[in-house]
Amino acid sequence: MKIFKFGGASIKDAQGVKNVTTVLKKTGEKDLVVVISAMGKMTNALEEVVTAHLAKSDTLKDHLLTVETYHYDILKELFPNKEHAIYKAVSGLLDQLKGFLTSSKSKNHAFVYDQIVSYGELISTTIVSTYLSEENIKNTWLDVRGCIKTDDNYRDAKVDWEVTQKRIIDKVHPTGITVTQGFLGAEHENNFTTTLGREGSDYTAAIFAYCLNGESVTIWKDVPGVLNADPRYFSKTQLLNKISYREAIELAFYGASVIHPKTLQPLQRKEIPLYVKSFYNPEDEGTCVGKGVTLDPKTSCFILKKNQVLISLSSLDFSFMMEDNIGDVFKWLHEYKMKVELIQNSAISFSMCVDNKYDKLDELLVKLREKFKVKWNEGVTLYTIRHSVPSEIKALTRDRNVLLKQESRDTVQIIVKN
């Protein structure tokens, strides 16, 4: 059994969905789990629906219309026959979503978020599965929420591996093609939908591979594979042919967004190879993440994270920045779900670069100011460079306002003000 994952970019339009059939036909795989994300940027569009719903804003219907129109435009191109059953299936899902919006009184943002954004994947898999059938690629649509069981930490749910493994083995037929949703799960108690964190579909693919002892995972991307830098920000990039799990975990953890960081450890545990390949050129080799060689070709890798916050703390009472002070800082960071990207401390100051993913910065600052003198800089960029040579760092920082630099054996991190 192999696992394929198609992300939002690969199915952003009707042409993309058609290309999924081309990839499946070209690779000729018969026993597959196909994990699929929401189409294009539909998760972002559904986030707007969440915000408008919770704010009881008049814009709710416009945001809903955006979601509906996007999917119906794709449907019209894929299924010219308006009587096709797919139209009923998709409108049924949209009706369920509208039903939730009308009936839900919950103010729990994270809970409401998961109940709404999950329709992106429910709709996309319904469309892709039906289109594959239409193209004579026999497949079974699987509701992943019956398989991936999680806790109720909405928006970042933790997988219960034991139950999940049992369910997956039970529900996935060992032969043939199964089409299922990335990113989603369901909590134990009431079966409410949960999500595994933004961009979590890669992780879903890894969960299936781990539980089924899969032969390999392939994630199909709009790039030739893992490159030594994000081509959106760097003009000259190089394809990495082979990377070790360890190196890939480091790259993903520091923010190389081509692979979700949670994806790699389950695969490493069972030594299941991960291929990152181009959905435009499915015959090309792409990148293989696996056992053995650290990095081939051996080259420096650049990772960039925009919109970070650099916070510097010093004590109000001349005390040093020691364990007791720092302990509080970490407790609050955890409480406000701020991910720490870099830390530097001296006797009297403590600096950290954090990702304000859940928009909690203001609340955190209020807390910090009770105890510390606080300085902060929003909108800074964090560069992480692995295996660099000094001339590259020099070139990168030339004419830039460097706020902080940290260097270890394989990694240089630099924070610059844009």
Task: List contacts with ligand ADP (CB under 6 A).
Answer: 7-10, 37, 199, 221-223, 226-227, 229-232, 256-258
Pairing verdict, β 242-244 and 295-296: antiparallel
What DSSP state is assigned to residue 180?
E
Size of the site for Mg ion (CB under 5 A): 2
Determine which residue in the list 10, 19, 43, 388 makes contact with ligand ASP, applying CB under 6 A.
43
C-beta of residue 144 within 8 angstroms of C-beta of residue 185: yes
Q: Which CB sits closer to ligand ADP, 1 or 303?
A: 303
Q: How many CA atoms lie within 13 A of 33 on its CB side?
A: 33
CB of 365 to ligand ASP, least distance (A): 27
Give the CA distances from residue 201 to residues 197, 259, 372, in Å, rounded to whole numbers and listed in that order. 9, 10, 40
| Residue 37 is a binding residue for ligand ASP (CB under 6 A) | yes
**φ/ψ (deg, to 5) at 242:** -140, 135
Q: Which CB sits closer to ligand ADP, 154 or 203?
A: 203
227 binding partner (options ligand ADP, Mg ion, ligand ASP, none; Cβ < 5 to 8 Å by kind) = ligand ADP
Q: Which CB sits closer to ligand ASP, 119 or 275?
A: 119
Q: Which CB sits closer to ligand ADP, 60 or 224?
A: 224
Q: Which CB sits closer to Mg ion, 37 or 129?
A: 37
CB of 232 to ligand ASP, least distance (A): 16
| Residue 16 is a binding residue for ligand ASP (CB under 6 A) | no
- What span, in angstroms and rounded, lies between the C-alpha atoms of 75 and 87? 8
Tokens of 48: 């707007």
Tell me the three state secondary structure of residue 253.
helix
| Residue 182 is a binding residue for Mg ion (CB under 5 A) | no
221 binding partner (options Mg ion, ligand ADP, ligand ASP, none; Cβ < 5 to 8 Å by kind) = ligand ADP
Find the binding residues for ligand ASP in span 185-244 (CB under 6 A). Answer: 198-201
How many other CB atoms sit within 10 Å of the CB of residue 18? 14
Radius of gyration of the chain (CA): 23
CB of 201 to ligand ADP, least distance (A): 7
Give which of 58, 181, 172 is closest to 119, Cα–Cα: 181
CB of 39 to ligand ADP, least distance (A): 10
Determine which residue in the list 3, 6, 7, 262 makes contact with ligand ASP, applying CB under 6 A.
7
Q: How many Å from the N-terminal Cα to the C-terminal Cα in the chain?
A: 47
CB of 197 to ligand ASP, least distance (A): 8
**φ/ψ (deg, to 5) at 145:** -70, -15
Q: Which CB sits closer to ligand ADP, 140 or 257?
A: 257
Give the CA distances from residue 72 to residues 116, 171, 181, in Å, rounded to whole numbers and listed in that order. 18, 30, 19
CB of 286 to ligand ASP, least distance (A): 18
Q: Which CB sits closer to ligand ASP, 187 or 199?
A: 199
Determine which residue in the list 7, 182, 255, 261 makes contact with Mg ion, applying CB under 5 A.
7
Q: Which CB sits closer to Mg ion, 41 or 371?
A: 41
Contact flags string 173-192 toward ligand ASP, x per CB under 6 A: ---------xx---------
- What span, in angstroms and rounded, lies between the C-alpha atoms of 226 and 288? 9
Q: Which CB sits closer to ligand ADP, 187 or 199?
A: 199
Question: Could you tell me which stretch among 198-206, 266-274, 323-331, 358-366 binds Mg ion (CB under 5 A)?
Answer: 198-206
| Residue 40 is a binding residue for ligand ASP (CB under 6 A) | no
What DSSP state is assigned to residue 8?
G
- What span, in angstroms and rounded, lies between the C-alpha atoms of 93 and 113? 16
C-beta of residue 354 within 8 angstroms of C-beta of residue 312: no
Q: Which CB sits closer to ligand ADP, 256 or 416?
A: 256
Give which of 259, 258, 255, 279 is closest to 267, Cα–Cα: 259
| H/E stretch holding 307 | strand 301-315
| H/E stretch holding 276 | strand 274-278
Give which of 125, 185, 180, 122 is closest to 155, Cα–Cα: 185
Q: Which residues make up the interface to ligand ASP (CB under 6 A)?
A: 7-8, 37-38, 43, 120, 182-183, 198-201
Residues in the site for Mg ion, rule: CB under 5 A? 7, 199
